[in-house]
Structure 1
Amino acid sequence: MQSSVLAFATDLIDEGADRFFGNLTDRAGVGGLTLASVYHEARDIFPHHPNRVVRYLEPGAAYFRPDPARWDGARLRPVPSTAIGDGDPFADAAAEARRRGLKLHAWTVFLHNDRLGFQHPDCAPANAFGDRALTELCPAHPEVRGYVRTLVAEHARYGVDAIRAESLHFHGLRHGYHHERYFEQLGPVTEALLGLCFCGHCRAAADALGVPSDQVQQTVRAEIRCRLDSEDTAAEPTVLTDLADGALAAYVDASAATVGSLAAEAAAVAEQHGMRLTFMDPDGPGKGWLSGVDLPALAKSVHGIETLGYAPTPEQVREKVAAFALHGVDPSGLAVILRPMSQDCDGPENLAAKIRVLEQLGVPEVEFYNYGLMRLSSMDRIGAALAAL
C-alpha cells in the first residue's frame, strides 16, 4: 500500500529540508509527500513548529513559482504566497523527494479561493438573488475552467505523481468565510437553496440540457423568501411544489454535469503530462449532490477518488469505505486519509488496524493528515503502524 503525509509548504520553509524530510522518512516512514501547492486561508495551531505555535495561511495563495508564459493574458492566475519570497518550495520539495525516493503529490485547492473570488466577482457563484459567494470560483465559468486546466499542467514540471484535487466542485452556503453569521435559524432547506448557483454560465448550462433555469431561479427565490419570513424552519417546501416536473432536481443534476465535465478535463490534462488526478470527495458517498458531486460518474472520468476516513475505530473506517462500493465506486480506486492524532487514534495498534481494514477492502493508497498540525508523537504513531503491517 502506498503511503503519504499531507503537509503545507510552510512546514518545509519553516523547518528546513533536513528536519522536515527527516520526520517524514525516519519517524513516519512513509513513501510519499502530499504537499499543498495552492491553499485557502487558515489559522492553525502547529504543535511542533520550531518558532511559533499559531500560523496564518494566506487566502488562495500558491506555494510554487508560476510560469508566466502559461498565464499570459489570463485574468485568473495563481498568486505566490509571500511566505515563499523569491524561492520555489515546490521545486525544493521535488528535488528532495527524488533524492530520498519519495513520491510527490500536489494537494491543490482549486475553486475555494478567497483571493481570486474577491478580485474577480464575476467568476464567483451567484445565488438565486444574484449575491456572489466571493470565497469560491464557479466551475461553469469558462475562465475558471481555463484556470483549472492550466493549474493542473503547471505541476508537470515538478515531477508530480498525482494531483489531489480539493474543491473541484460547488460549495454550500456555510463554507469558509471569516465570521460567518446566521442569527436566525435558516433550516437545511433554506441553506441548501442559498447554496445553488444561478450565475449566467450555470443557467446557460442548464438551459442547454433542457432545464428551465429562469423558472427554477424564480421559484427558488420565492421559496427562500417564504422561509426567511417564517420561524418554522422545518416546514415542508411550499412554492417548490410548483416544480412538479422535477425541474429543480434537473437543475441540480446539471450542476453535477458541470463538475463532472470539469473534473474530466482536468484529469485529461494531468494524463497528458504523465500525472494522475484524484478527486477529493468532500462529504462521502450519496451526500454531495448539492455540491455537484456525482461520485459514480466522477470515478469513471478521473484517476481515483480520495475520501476522509476520520473515525476512532477500525470498524467505523470499514463502514465509511465500504459505503463507496454500495454507491458504485470500487474501493480499488480510492485513496483514504486517516488522522493519527489522539482524537482518532489511541495508539499505533489502532492506526495499524485501520490500515489493515483498508488493505482488506482493496484500497491502494493511504494518506495521513496533517504534518504540521500533528504532534511528533503522532508522526511516530504512523511509523509504528506501518512497521507493524
Structure 2
Amino acid sequence: MESSVLAFATDLLDEGADAFFGNLTDRAGVGGVTLASVYHAARDVFPHNPHRVVRYLEPGAAYFRPDPAHWTGRRLRPTPSTAIGDRDPFAEAAAEARRRGLKLHAWTVFCHNDRLGFEHPDCAPANAFGDRRLTDLCPAHPEVRAYAATLVAELARYGVDAIRAESLHFHGLRHGYHHERYFEELGPVAEALLGVCFCTHCRAAADRAGVPAEEVAAAVRTELRRRLADDAAAGAPAALDELAGGAFAAYVDASAATVSSLAAELTEQARRHGMRLSFMDGAGPGRGWLAGIDLPALAAAADQIETLGYAKTPEAVREKVAAFALHGVRPQEMAVILRPMAMDCDGPADLAAKIAVLRELGVPEVEFYHYGLMRLSSLDRIGAALAG
C-alpha cells in the first residue's frame, strides 16, 4: 500500500528540508508527500512549527513559480503566495523527494478560489437570480477549464507523480466565505437551490443537452422566493427531482456532465505528462449530486477517486469505502485520507486497524491529514500504525 502525508509548502519552508523530510520518513514512515500547489484561504494552528503557531493562508495562492510563457494573454493565472518569497517550494520538494526516493503529489484546489473569483466575477458561478458566488470558479466557463488544464501542465515540470484534484466541481452555498451570515433559517432546500449555477455557460450546456435552462431557472427562483418569504415554507421538504416537471434534475445532470468532462480532460493532460489524476470527493457517495459529482462517470474519467476516511472506528471507515462500491467505484480505484489525530484516533492500534481495513478491502493508497496541523506525536502514530 502506498502512503503519503498531506502538507503545506510553508511547512517545508519554516522547518527546513532536513526536519520536514526527516519527520516524514523517520517518524511517519511514509513513501510520499502530497504538497499543496494552489490552496484556498485559511487560518490554521500549527502545533510543531518552529516560527509561528497561527498562520493565515492567502486566498487562492500558488506555492510554485508559474512559467510566464504558459500564461500569456490569460486573465486567470496563479499568483505565488507572498509566503514563499523568491523561492520555489515545489522545486525544492521535488529535488529532495527524488534524492530520498519519495513520491511527490500536487494537492491542487481548482475551483474554490476567492482571489480569482473576486478579480473576475464573470468566471464565478451565478445563482438563479444572477448573484455571483465569488469564492468559486465555474467549471463550465471556458477560461476556467483552460486555467485548470494549464495548471496540470505546469505542475508536470516538477516531476510530480500525481495530481490530487480538490474542488474540481461546483460548490454549495455554505463554507465559501469567512463571514457568512444567515440570520433567518434558510432550510436545506433553499440552501441547495442557491448553490446551483445558472451562469451563461451552464445554461448553454443544459440547452445543448435538451434541457430548458430558463424554464428551470424560473422555477428555482419561484421556489426560492416562496421559501425565503415564510418560515414554514423554509423547512418544508421538497422533491427536487420533480421541480420544473423533472427538468431541474436534468439540469443538474447536465452540470454533472460538465464536471465529468473536465475531469476527463485534465486526466488526459496529466497522463500525457506521465502523471496520474485523483478526483477528491470529500462529501462521499450520494451527497455530491448538486455539486455535479457523478461517481460512476468520474471513476471512468479519472485515474482514481480519493475520499475522506474521517471516522472514529475502523468499521466506520469500512462503511465509508463500501458505500462507494454501491455507486460504481471499487476500492481498488480509490485512495483514502485518514486523520491520525485524537479527534479520530485514540492511539496507534486504532489507526493500524483502519489501515488494515483499507488493505483488506484492496485500497491501494492511504494518505494522512495533515503534516503541519498535527502534533509530532501523531506523526509517530502514523509510523507505528504503518509498521504494525
- TM-score range relative to shorter protein: over 0.9
Classify 1:250/1:314 alpha carbon distance in 2 versus 1 (closer, same or farther; 3 Å): same
Q: Aligned partners of 1:334 and 1:386: how far apart in 2? A: 18
Write out per-residue CA displacement over residues 181-205 of structure 1, whole angstroms, 9 at most, x where no aligned residue.
1010000100000000000000000
Could you tell me the TM-score, scaled by structure 2's length? 0.98
Do the aligned partners of 1:223 and 1:237 also contact (CA within 8 Å) in 2? Answer: no
1:31 matched to 2:31: yes
Classify 1:318/1:242 alpha carbon distance in 2 versus 1 (closer, same or farther; 3 Å): closer
Unaligned stretches of 5+ in structure 1? none
- Residues 34-49 of structure 1: matches in 2 within 5 Å? 34-49=34-49
Q: Aligned partners of 1:250 and 1:241: how far apart in 2? A: 10
CA RMSD between the two structures: 1.2
Q: Aligned partners of 1:242 and 1:373: how far apart in 2? A: 43
Superposed displacement of residue 113, structure 1: 0.2
Q: Aligned partners of 2:338 and 2:155: how far apart in 1? A: 25
Do the aligned partners of 1:5 and 1:34 also contact (CA within 8 Å) in 2? Answer: yes
Amino acid at match of 2:169: H
Write out per-residue CA displacement over residues 21-40 of structure 1, whole angstroms, 9 at most, x where no aligned residue.
11001100100000000000
Write out per-residue CA displacement over residues 288-326 of structure 1, whole angstroms, 9 at most, x where no aligned residue.
000000011100010000000000110110011111111
Match of 1:68 in 2: 68
Match of 1:268 in 2: 268
Classify 1:4/1:240 alpha carbon distance in 2 versus 1 (closer, same or farther; 3 Å): closer
Write out per-residue CA displacement over residues 74-133 of structure 1, whole angstroms, 9 at most, x where no aligned residue.
110000000111110000000000000000000000000000000000000000000000
Q: Aligned partners of 1:326 and 1:217: how far apart in 2? A: 31
Match of 2:214 in 1: 214
Do the aligned partners of 2:243 and 2:249 also contact (CA within 8 Å) in 1? Answer: no
Match of 2:324 in 1: 324
Classify 1:240/1:94 alpha carbon distance in 2 versus 1 (closer, same or farther; 3 Å): closer
Match of 2:191 in 1: 191
1:380 matched to 2:380: yes
Write out per-residue CA displacement over residues 266-299 of structure 1, whole angstroms, 9 at most, x where no aligned residue.
1010000000000000211111000000011100
Q: Percent identity?
A: 78
Corresponding residue pairs, total: 387
Superposed displacement of residue 52, structure 1: 1.6
Q: Aligned partners of 2:27 and 2:51: how far apart in 1? A: 20
Match of 2:177 in 1: 177
Match of 1:19 in 2: 19
Amino acid at match of 1:385: A
Q: Aligned partners of 1:240 and 1:318: how far apart in 2? A: 30
Could you tell me the TM-score, scaled by structure 1's length? 0.98
Match of 2:285 in 1: 285
Amino acid at match of 1:51: H
Match of 1:156 in 2: 156
Match of 1:83 in 2: 83
SS at match of 1:366: strand
Superposed displacement of residue 234, structure 1: 2.1
Classify 1:238/1:250 alpha carbon distance in 2 versus 1 (closer, same or farther; 3 Å): closer
Q: Aligned partners of 1:242 and 1:293: how far apart in 2? A: 20
Match of 2:257 in 1: 257
1:234 matched to 2:228: no
